[in-house]
A and B are shown apart, each in its own frame.
Chain A
Amino acid sequence: MTAAATVGDLVSQPYKYGFVTDIETEKIAKGLSEDVVRLISAKKEEPAFLLDFRLRAYQQWLKMEEPDWASIGHAPIDYQNIIYYAAPKQQVKKASLDEVDPKLLETFEKLGIPLSEQKRLSNVAVDAVFDSVSIATTYKEKLAEHGVIFCSISEAVKDHAELIERYLGTVVPSNDNYFSALNSAVFSDGSFVFIPKGVACPMDLSTYFRINSGDTGQFERTLIVAEEGASVSYLEGCTAPMFDTNQLHAAVVELVALDDASIKYSTVQNWYAGDENGVGGIYNFVTKRGQCRGDRSHISWTQVETGSAITWKYPSCVLQGADSVGEFYSVALTNNHQQADTGTKMFHVGPRTRSTIVSKGISAGHSSNSYRGLVQMGPKSVGARNYSQCDSMLIGDQAAANTYPYIRSQQPDASIEHEASTCRISADQLFYLQSRGIGFEEAVSMMVSGFCRDVFNQLPLEFAAEADKLLALKLEGSVG
């Protein structure tokens, strides 16, 4: 038995979150048209400005073409064969959790996200999104005491329309790319976070996305605004049932940081990845961008990407304010026939802006894992600095790892550093650990954790364990 074969067995653990909740769902008919866009907007009782925003985006989308430059391949997506809105039948958003359908609460509990008063996580507020709608948000009142707004974006459209109108689409314009245009036209739900001037958010915020229906696309939209001197740490998690068809998930996340504000955004992505032959799984085509609008502002992305059949995402930072800081820490694990083309873009606009990129790709099975990153130093980015480190780990001999760093500088007084490495878990390393009494699975897990440590250190404490658990699930049979 070769080490590679055994590691291969290890990484092929079954997906734990593949169950379907049997719940009555209200769905609209398949397909996309202007009428569908109007219908979604009407269902959500949206103000006119938002309907206009959607219709404009739809018109732009019609004229655009699906991007084909990423190092991924898939059969053409039939956009008319997708349901663009699905919601559990529960007419009004419930005032209290007690009124939420117990089946939904049970679903989230099963996913490790208890929502009820007694069981909910003690220091994290959670917004739970099921298919196209948010079903519950915890700790809203407590957060409100601090002036923090944390609610679903649909609620925000109703209750804080002026904030939505001021910020929505200002970081990721609807015509930014094909999928952002699609999302802007049909987005269903997601989270809205607003941290007022000078407030440090008293607890971590988290949104948990769950796709339940088999033929639905999920198009969530998240907007986080931190005013001057405000700070927040936010985490999103996601899972989906196992279906043998591919499902489209095209989200848009926008972050805005004003002077001295700081936003830390962490993702643990575990959408269904398809089976070992590459059948089924989520197409995760996501646009995430943060804008450091203010001086000395700080935006940090941390992502642990383990799921999805295809991942196409580049959480980026526009470093506009002087002395602003952008960070990107990423672990992407692909197995079987998964494909990931992920990385970041750091646009250095203002003077003395700094960015750090640490990317760790782990490829096993027949998967393909690419890092694609852009570091751009604009003409005014005097004294700007970037440091990038891209490491790949190969498990077995069928997997591929690629690195595509793009560097553009229009500023002679900017410094850019790029380091890259590729390694393989060798049979000798495994044997060394084993010969000290460490079991095979633990040895693999230790090496993978060690490889990812720089990134895991960046995760909020509450979620570092979750990320470790997730990798363990993918890499270990015995840990549950």
Chain B
Amino acid sequence: MIRPDAPVLLEICDLRASVEEQPILKGVNLTLRAGEIHAVMGRNGSGKSTLSKVLAGHPAYRVTGGSVLYRGDDLLALQPEQRARIGLFLGFQYPVEIPGVSNLEFLRVATNARRLEQGLEELDTFAFEDLVRERLQVVQMDPAFLERSVNEGFSGGEKKRNEILQMALLEPLVAILDETDSGLDIDALRIVAGGVNQLASADNATLLITHYQRLLDVITPDYVHVMAAGRILRTGGKELALELEERGYDWVDVEIERLEAAELEALAAAQGSRTPAEVG
């Protein structure tokens, strides 16, 4: 739902980041307003997943430039847990298993951390059980999963449902879902996408990171962004996804090559204008 007057929740400006000194994001610009669903598409290695991890604050990624404002405040200055508490959520592509830590207890601690930040009362074990049982409906999940260790021995589909369950409990304002559709069969995809649709509202924004059109058949994006070589190359409506599906990504390569050639030229020109001493 696009409303030009809706408040801006996330504003990414010329974001640059590297991992192990290798630049991955090379100037990403993106604005998310309340009520909007955005899809970021692109090939493997285009920087989509890096974008999601940088936003969530993964310690392996180093921000080298640009800014990210979350409701007007500097997001990048916050620890990952603080980002989560104020309403940023990352649904992982590969949720890790945490043996020995009970899923129920984990969900409760996480939910209470968020509630505390919102000025709400912490939920005790009983109150939380009521809440979690209600939210299980969102992803039609078996309560038996609450008794197990976090993601341990879960199938791919169960892990993704557990992610959306967490999202249902944490009620984020900005949800970034990284390849939520990967590894799901068509039924699981429907359930997970149904959950995402239920949770999307006029007050929050969703950023879907995906390879394929099939997720966008069930969750209709307001915007589609094509990412390549660490930046957003083109933005359009949902029809852009269909175009990608039809044409493939080859044209993206051509465009990126052209863009990078132009940049190199500009750089060379800038260096050429200096004196030789400065260059040396």
Contact = CB atoms under 8 A, between A and B. Distances in A.
A428 interface: yes
A427 B60 contact: yes
Given A2-B59, A427-B59, A434 B79 contact: yes
B154 interface: no
A17 interface: no
Contact of A451 (B79, B90, B100, B170): B100
B98 A1 contact: no
B99 A450 contact: yes
B136 interface: no
A451 B170 CA distance: 26
Nearest to B111: A437
Given A2-B59, A437-B170, A442-B109, A432 B96 contact: yes
Contacts of A439: 79, 81, 113
Contacts of A437: 81, 84-85, 110, 113-114, 117, 170
Interface in B101-122: 101-102, 105-106, 109-110, 113-114, 117
B81 A434 contact: yes
A435 interface: yes
Contact of B59 (A3, A446, A451): A3
Contacts of B230: none
B28 to A, nearest CB: 19
A335 to B, nearest CB: 20
Nearest to A431: B58
Contacts of A433: 98, 106, 110
Nearest to A434: B80
B99 A451 contact: yes
Contacts of B106: 433, 436, 438, 446
B81 A440 contact: yes
B149 A436 contact: no
B223 to A, nearest CB: 24
A2 B117 CA distance: 27
Contacts of B60: 427
B273 to A, nearest CB: 40
Given A3-B59, A431-B80, A432-B96, A438 B113 contact: yes
A434 B84 contact: yes
Interface in A333-383: none
A462 to B, nearest CB: 21
A426 interface: yes
A434 B100 CA distance: 17
A144 interface: no
B166 interface: yes
B56 interface: yes
A450 B96 CA distance: 15
B113 A423 contact: no
Nearest to B83: A435
B240 to A, nearest CB: 29
A427 B80 CA distance: 13
A436 B79 contact: no
B56 to A, nearest CB: 5
Contacts, number: 80
B61 to A, nearest CB: 11
Q: Which of A429, A435, A442 has the most CB of B within 10 A?
A: A435
A449 B105 CA distance: 12
Interface in A425-480: 426-429, 431-440, 442, 446-447, 449-453
B110 A436 contact: yes
B66 interface: no
A3 B58 CA distance: 11
Nearest to A426: B96
A1 B113 contact: no
B92 interface: yes
Interface in A99-142: none
B54 to A, nearest CB: 12
Contacts of A3: 59
Contact of B84 (A436, A451, A452, A453): A436
B100 A453 contact: yes
Contacts of A447: 98, 100-101
Contacts of B84: 434-437
A438 B82 CA distance: 9
Contacts of A440: 79, 81
A447 B149 CA distance: 11
A436 B170 contact: yes
Interface string A166-191: 00000000000000000000000000
B57 interface: yes
A2 B92 CA distance: 21
Interface string B159-183: 0000000100010000000000000
B110 A438 contact: yes
B156 interface: no
B57, B81, B83, B89: residue with the most chain A Cβ atoms closer than 10 Å: B81
A432 B95 contact: yes
B74 to A, nearest CB: 18
Nearest to B105: A446
* Closest CB pairs A-B (n = 7): A450-B100, A437-B113, A436-B110, A437-B84, A450-B101, A434-B80, A437-B85
Interface of A: 1-3, 423, 426-429, 431-440, 442, 446-447, 449-453
22 contacts: A3-B59, A423-B99, A427-B59, A427-B60, A431-B59, A434-B57, A434-B84, A435-B83, A436-B81, A436-B106, A436-B110, A437-B84, A437-B114, A438-B81, A438-B106, A439-B81, A450-B98, A450-B100, A450-B101, A450-B149, A451-B99, A453-B100
